[in-house]
Amino acid sequence: MKEKLIEVLNSKSVTILGHDNYDVDSIISSVLLSKLLNYINIENKIVILQDIKENDTYKMLMEKFNINLYDFYSDKEDSSRKLILVDHYETSHLGDVIACIDHHPTEKKNTYPFYICKKSCSTSYIIYELMKEFDYNINREEAEMIVFSMMIDTVAFRSEKTVKKEVVFAKALTRQYNINYDELEKYSLCLTPIEKMEINDIITYGIKKYCFNESKVNSSYLQLLEVPKVEIQEWLKIIQSKIKESDIKMWVFIVYDCKNNDTYEYHITSENIMSRITFNKILSRGQNIMPRIEKIFN
């Protein structure tokens, strides 16, 4: 891979482009790749071609690594630039794609001159493997960036896309660089700060509104270290009252218990029926839960 990448770069000035709706892995992978390219004397820059939102991703990157996304912002398209896609394998933006590094395996055939696409906890881990090929010795902050990115993209190694051998690597890397693994794990879980929130904000946290066959369905999502048994009954009662006051057919209230790796899926209907399904794993609302709910109304 090392020789092929050098051949493709061929001393070109390149633009590193993460995916739209950027996330932690997209940004950290771009930063790590930029560091590697600087190391081998390849002129490069990172661009974000969308408005910067000061959301959780922005705050985490700023707080932990002093990465300011505004440093990468650009509103200019350029068909002449040479693009390296990071954490995605296709783009609608202008430019000639000369390389792609991604961890989302796809059956789509790409003919990019340099292409790595394999299952991994994060693209940052693949960048790390490239760094090793170039004898780039990472420092403590870069080690923490890699592990943090891996954790964020797998909900602290709880999601089904976790690669077990990479978890072993992450733990070993934290020991090597004296990084507090437990603290990093808790931070990367992105727990919902319910202790700072009003009840109405809790029950509507991460709310998404759907319409299935003309039936309105709301869904909210909490990610907690443990599920408070007393409080959750109160939350559910308030959701019931909100449904009575509206034309919502169902409210899907999802709570992920990070400590026990359980997902609780509560269905509250306009007929005042409440049910709970428990899964001993983390579920994706978009991929696992709501497509199943949609079938109920079709």
Q: Does the predicted model carry a pTM greater than 0.85?
A: no
Q: Are residues 22 and 74 in the same domain?
A: yes
- Same domain? For 180 and 231 the reply is no
Q: Which of 40-44, 112-116, 257-261 has the lowest mean pLDDT?
A: 257-261
Considering the domain architecture, whether residues 118 and 174 belong to the same structural domain is answered as: yes
pLDDT per residue as tens digits for the range 229-248: 889 999 999 999 999 889 99
Question: What is the rounded average pLDDT of the residues 21-43?
Answer: 96
Same domain? 109 vs 250: no
Q: Is 192 helix (H, G, I), strand (E, B) or coil?
A: coil
Q: Domain check: are 174 and 112 in the same one? A: yes
CA–CA distance, 288 with 208 (Å, rounded to integer): 15
Question: In whole numbers, what is the pLDDT of the chain averaged over residues?
Answer: 94
pLDDT in tens, 49-85: 999 999 889 999 999 999 999 999 999 999 999 999 9
For residue 275, give the CATH number of its domain. 3.10.310.20
pLDDT of the residue at 153:
92
Separation in Å, CA 60 to CA 68, 271, 275, 290: 10, 41, 35, 28
Q: Are residues 171 and 211 in the same domain?
A: no
- Domain holding 166, by residue range, is 2-188
Q: What are phi and psi of 214, to 5 degrees?
A: 70, 10
The model's pLDDT over 196-227, given as tens digits with 9 standing for 90+, comes to: 899 999 999 989 999 999 999 999 999 998 89
Q: Are 238 and 231 in contact (CB under 8 A)?
A: no
Considering its fold, how many domains does the chain have in total? 2
CA distance 257 to 162: 18
Please give, one letter per residue, the 3-state secondary structure of 65-90.
HCCCHHHHECCCCCCCCEEEEECCCC
- Give CA–CA dist 241/246, Å, rounded: 9
Q: Are 205 and 172 in the same domain? A: no
The pLDDT, as a whole number, for residue 21 is 87
Mean pLDDT, residues 173-194: 93
Task: Please give the share of the chain, as a percent, with pLDDT higher than 70.
Answer: 100
Shared domain for 29 and 171, answered yes or no, is yes
The DSSP-derived string for 271-289 is: TS-EEEEEESS---IIIII
C-alpha torsion sign, points 70, 101, 106, 79? positive
pLDDT band at 265; cut points 50, 70, 90: very high
Q: In this predicted model, what pLDDT tens digit does every residue of 81-139 receive, in sequence order?
A: 999 999 999 999 999 999 999 998 877 778 899 999 999 999 999 999 999 999 999 99
